[in-house]
Structure 1
Amino acid sequence: MSVGSYVKQSASSGMITLQADQSDLKAFADFAALVPKAATAAQRRAINKTLRWLRTHIARAVSQQERVAVTAVRQRLRAYPLNGNGQGKLWFGINSIEASRAGRPRQTRAGVSLAGRRYQGAFFKKVYGGQPDIWIRTASKHFKASDYPDSEVSGGGGASSGWISENGSRYPLAKAKISLEDVRPHFESWSKRAHQQLLKVLEQELNFELQKYLRGTDRV
């Protein structure tokens, strides 16, 4: 616990690590030395509660910014409870997300629309896997690569990577996806806000344990 909370990023994800540092715990050092099990329990609860708080707020923020259903964003967030080093972690996968998960697709003669987005010339259909998705033939005059990022490559391919061949036919398809790259700048601010929240909750939890100790009740 020599350093506070921090964030690390990779090409496809971000990992926010929550932990208190020694300077944050100076006011509680005597209590922690007296009843270390109670202090450890307070720290565990504080970190786990803050992870849930952080997951909720990130999901809402990304949902609003990228116009994606909050339930789909939450599936990209994975919390890891307190470990032996006194750290709790929140992983966030930021690979492009299928556009069909942004809301309820509506097929029209002109294409597919959902969540304020329009994919002209596209169609909503099950091509691969168990769920239908939004596709477009890459030969279509309405095809825009920016609307179909990071599609998986398969079979007959196409003129460039990211295109998928429809059952090996001569009509390669691309799946509509939404890039989450724009959420990267928020990682540092989320980490700072989460650390402040952690200190707030930690104080509450330590005070709870202190009151239990002063009342002479069973300790954790």
Structure 2
Amino acid sequence: MSEPLKVELDTRQVDELLRGLPPSAMQAAWRRTLRKISTWVKSQVAKLIAKDTKVPQKVLRQRLYFFLRSRDSGKVWLGLNPLQANRLGTPRQTRRGITVGKHRFAGAWTMAQRAPTGPVFQRTGKARYPIVEVKLEWDDPGEAAFQKVAAQVEARLLVVLRQEVNYELQKALGRIGSHGTR
């Protein structure tokens, strides 16, 4: 596993946008921007990985988390551990093994009586034992997708921040217009 991916942004443009607002409005705009960017990152990463691995986006989104680390910074976490085969969809037994979603696992089976939608197993050798649970490796496409989206974060952040600052400005102007002199 490679070292953690860290994205640093040039905040001079951000400071210029926020200069005309009171501190509470600036903070509100920034927090909304962070939340919206996290949602955007999660959806973009899930789309790219799903396209490469044929894993449902729903499963991938469960592996993506966003944390507000402080009042002005956030962190997106992507869990790259192998996915259990039965999490990709409903396992179906075929003559040659198990089919789950768009993936086929030759020589695999489920415990049909105990847990028909449970774990999928496969023998590791010619003998009856040992057996292992079938898992899908997806860390390489996951890291590649995450890095591709990380390269686009700064541009997207500025677009969303402009929208949020504009919202705060319109809100402030609306208050002035409705509470002004009559």
Q: Same fold (TM over 0.5)?
A: yes
Alpha-carbon offset, residue 118 of structure 1: 1.9
* TM-score between the two structures when normalised by the length of structure 2: 0.82
The residue correspondences of 1:1-220 to structure 2 (distance < 5 A) are: 11=1, 21-32=10-21, 35-81=22-68, 83-84=70-71, 86-125=72-111, 132-140=118-126, 171-182=129-140, 183-217=142-176
Give the length in aligned residue pairs. Answer: 176
Alpha-carbon offset, residue 196 of structure 1: 1.5
5+ residue gaps, structure 1, are 1-10, 142-169
**Amino acid in structure 1 at the alignment position of 2:33:** A
5+ residue gaps, structure 2, are none
Root mean square deviation, CA, Å: 3.0
Alpha-carbon offset, residue 27 of structure 1: 2.8
Q: Give the distance between the partners of 1:96 and 1:74, measured in 2 at CA.
A: 14
**Residues 136 and 174 in structure 1, CA contact (< 8 A), matched pair in contact too:** yes
**Residues 14 and 161 in structure 2, CA contact (< 8 A), matched pair in contact too:** no
What are the superposed Cα offsets for residues 100-135 of structure 1, whole Å, 9 maximum, x if unpaired?
A: 212221112321112332222110227999x61110
What are the superposed Cα offsets for residues 74-117 of structure 1, whole Å, 9 maximum, x if unpaired?
A: 11111113623x11111001011112212221112321112332
Does the residue aligned with 1:136 lie in a helix, a strand or coil?
A: strand
**Residues 121 and 140 in structure 1, CA contact (< 8 A), matched pair in contact too:** no
Change (3 A) 1:53 1:128: farther
**Residues 45 and 145 in structure 2, CA contact (< 8 A), matched pair in contact too:** no
Q: Give the distance between the partners of 1:128 and 1:76, measured in 2 at CA.
A: 27
Q: Give the distance between the partners of 1:115 and 1:13, measured in 2 at CA.
A: 32
The match for 1:153 is none
Q: Give the distance between the partners of 1:29 and 1:197, measured in 2 at CA.
A: 17
Q: Give the distance between the partners of 1:108 and 1:13, measured in 2 at CA.
A: 40
**Amino acid in structure 2 at the alignment position of 1:139:** G
Does the residue aligned with 2:19 lie in a helix, a strand or coil?
A: helix
What are the superposed Cα offsets for residues 15-60 of structure 1, whole Å, 9 maximum, x if unpaired?
A: 666x75431224325314xx11111110110110111111122112
* TM-score between the two structures when normalised by the length of structure 1: 0.69
Greater per-residue helix proportion:
2
